[in-house]
Amino acid sequence: MILYWLVNNLSEWILISALIIAVLLVIILIITFVTFKNKKEGKTGEINYKILFIIGLVWIPVGSVYMIAVNFLIGIAFIGMGVIYIAIGLANKDKWKKEE
């Protein structure tokens, strides 16, 4: 019974996987193009450490929700990334861009 289901539904999983890979490749190509274009024009930007701090503040509650609702380990990973972003943002607090 399981083997029959697997054989009939395998083509759907292959199609879904191929679509996900295609979308990721398009995103990577767009990012690469924009990066090279900005580098050629000399528009390399500075890191906004205040935004990293804010992203860290957002990822900690997201990780908590994932821990409870989805998967404990994924939640821990999100919380860990949030803590890392907060640490990077706070370590470079003197470089935060001023709001105009």
**Element housing 37 (H / E):** helix 2-41
Structure tokens at 47: 């890191």
Length of the chain equals: 100
* 46-94 pLDDT tens trace: 778 888 899 999 999 988 988 888 888 888 989 999 999 999 999 988 8
Distance CA 20, CA 45 (A): 30
Structure tokens at 74: 């994924």
Number of H helices, E strands in the chain: 3, 0
| Residue owning tokens 């935060």 | 96
* 21-59 pLDDT tens trace: 889 999 999 988 888 887 787 777 777 888 889 999 999
